[in-house]
Structure 1
Amino acid sequence: MLKNTPSQYGSLARALHWLMALLIIAMFALGFTMGIPEKGSALRALIQGSHINLGTLTFALLVLRVLWRSFNPVPVAGLSPLNARLAHWGHLLIYALLALQVLAGLAIVMTRTNPTPLWWGFELPGFGGSWHKALEEAHETLAWTLLAVLLGHVLMAVVHKLQGDASQRGMLGR
């Protein structure tokens, strides 16, 4: 089933969730290792380029996911009204942090003096600017904040699984 039901996410929502989870893990891995290779090295350029390209893909999927969520019921089976409300606000926080994170990354790229080519066949313009360092710091702070919120998300999924409630059927498809 493609669409969500009151008790379970549909196949598209689940695919977007798990694809984005993999992308976010890859983005964190690339982001945290980006500073290891020597500046100007081919390896560092590869890591940075991959991070930027996966960031643009993450943003595109985030937009698609938010649009899909807007037109489909969100399963709340197995959750109390309070937990359903907290889950709603928690998901909105994740979406907002992801959007801010990607937009901060985009702004960093645009403070470069040269355009940045993307795998998809176009370039992100480079306008230069003095905000580069501040944007990098904001991007890093957002990354740590997002990581904490995502760990809380995973922790709550584990708690609900251990409690044996039906909420885990939603994204696991069972």
Structure 2
Amino acid sequence: MDRYTKPAILLHWLTALLIIAAFTLGVIMTDIPGLTPTKLKYYSWHKWLGITVLAVAVIRVLWRKANRPPAPPASMPQWQVKAADATHALLYLLIFAVPVTGYLYTTAAGVPVVYLGLFQIPAAFDPNAEWKPVLKAIHYWLNMVMAGAVALHVGAALKHQFIDRDGVLRRMLP
């Protein structure tokens, strides 16, 4: 059985953990009323996670370009291969689009992004009160689409493991 490379497996699971952490923190921080020190700390952590997701995504795409993933099992129907390809393409698009829109929303809000408290990421443009709510909505809805795509991805992996028993999930397990 063909497996993904060890770096591909590491990058996959690291991306998954970072996205889950950023999404969870995003839900928690936005539910905190007012502007508290805890909320501000969570916003910083959320931004750090987003920047890290973006950096890992770049490495992941470069690795995937240089290392082809294993072929789907011969037993997999063509419609499932196409659905898996489309879902993977959507997930790759979202691991870039979600952090970028978060960064653009933050820029529009006029809030600096200081990665890990060490260095400031330059603003893409001057604060913009008109773009702020638009970018906030785009960032939110892209997160919701990502949550759905991740649920679909996990559901498909579990189907392959427990119903099809075709080894698809085992190829990505450490």
- Output the TM-score relative to the length of structure 1: 0.89
Q: How far apart are 1:84 and its partner, in Å?
A: 3.1
Give the match for residue 166 of structure 2: 165
**What value does the CA root-mean-square deviation take over the aligned residues?**
1.7
Mapped to 1, the partners of 2:67 and 2:2 lie a distance apart of 12
Query: Structure 1 residue 93: deviation in Å?
Result: 0.8
Q: Does 1:26 align with 2:25?
A: no
Q: Does 92-101 or 109-118 show the bigger shift? A: 109-118
Deviation at 1:40, TM superposition (A): 2.4
Matched, 1:10 2:5: yes
SS at match of 1:166: coil
Q: Is the 1:97–1:142 Cα contact (8 Å) retained in structure 2?
A: yes
Seen in structure 2, the aligned counterparts of structure 1 residues 73 and 111 have a Cα distance that, compared at 3 Å, is same
1:95 to 61, 82, 92: 92
Q: Deviation above 3 Å: which 4+ runs of structure 1?
A: none
Distance between the aligned counterparts of 1:142 and 1:133, measured in 2? 14
Map of 2:112 onto structure 1: 115
How much has 1:125 moved relative to structure 2? 3.5
Aligned 8 A contact 1:76 1:167 in 2: no
Distance 2:85 2:100 in 1: 23
Say if 1:81 and 1:64 are closer, same or farther in 2 by CA, change over 3 A.
Answer: farther
How far does residue 67 in structure 1 lie from its aligned partner after superposition?
A: 0.9
Q: 1:42 aligns with which of 27, 37, 42?
A: 37
> Could you tell me the percent identity over the aligned residues?
30
Q: Does 1:139 align with 2:134?
A: no
Instruction: Quote how far apart the aligned CAs of 1:114 are.
Output: 4.4
Gaps of 5+ in 2: none
Q: Name stretches of at least 5 consecutive residues in structure 1 with no aligned partner.
A: 1-5
